[in-house]
Amino acid sequence: MNEDLLNEFEASLQKLMKGDISVRRLTALQAYSFLFDDDLNDIFDECTTKLSSSRVTTSRSFYIEKLLGVGDAQRIRNKRENLANDVLQSFELAQDDSARLLALCSEMRDLNNSTTELDDKTKNRIAKRITAIEAQVRSGLGILDVVLSGVAEVGEAAGKFGNDVKPLVDRMREVAQLARSGSNDPDALPAPDEIKKLPKPQNEEES
């Protein structure tokens, strides 16, 4: 859809290049401003403002060419974003599921803080994973790898501290289940009963 609108935007600029820059055409051009990222939108606004006041043909051509460049830049960014979405598995949740997942993250944070058996280093790592998962949920389109990292972190803690972190494991299982339910690749995350306790690191076993 954005590609079609960018093509329309470009066609409008070509018409401006060939004809008079009327108030009507400039007003219509402003309708395309929503297509652009904030920094590109600043350039868009600057150029359309200059176009409305310019009386010299060469100046008008410069600002129209600059606007065409803004369109090209946005098109490249869109392609990069689409590529990232294709490479990284994502998930998108309904409002109720998002609320439930965020509530689970809040519960995990409380458990993480209150579990005395966990050392500070482990608590800090788990806290960072929880915060990262929350950010993905709030973004609307989350990256599954972020949830998978949280699963692995809690699994490692379970391997070190056993049943002391079972409440954390249980909630992370539900987080994983919710993320899988909204995923474009339901096999990308382990099922809730597949979160296993990871073995202790080799250097800790020898110490």
**pLDDT of 142 above 90:** no
Mean pLDDT value across residues 89-118: 92
Q: Can you give the pLDDT at residue 189?
A: 53
**pLDDT of 185 above 90:** no
Of 75-79, 93-97, 101-105, the least confident: 75-79
Q: Can you give the pLDDT at residue 82?
A: 67
Residue 206 pLDDT level (bands cut at 50, 70, 90): very low
Give CA angle at 122 (120, 128), nearest 5°.
Answer: 100
Q: Can you give the pLDDT at residue 65?
A: 93
What are the pLDDT digits (tens) for 67-89? 999 999 999 888 876 665 565 78
Q: Say if residues 41 and 70 touch (Cβ distance below 8 Å).
A: no
DSSP 198: P
Q: How far apart are CA 183 and CA 178, in angstroms?
A: 9
Strand, helix or coil for residue 207: coil
Decide which of 185 and 129 is more confident: 129
Backbone angles phi, psi at 38, to 5 degrees: -55, -45
**Residue from 63, 33, 169, 55 nearest 111 by CA:** 169
**Residue from 139, 138, 129, 140 nearest 172 by CA:** 129
Of 23-32, 172-181, 192-201, the least confident: 192-201
Q: Can you give the pLDDT at residue 79?
A: 80
Q: Say if residues 5 and 38 touch (Cβ distance below 8 Å).
A: no
Report if pTM > 0.75: no
Own/partner contacts of 118-126, CB < 8 Å, gap of 24 or more, are 118/157, 118/161, 118/164, 118/165, 122/157, 122/160, 122/161, 125/153, 126/150, 126/153, 126/154, 126/157, 126/168
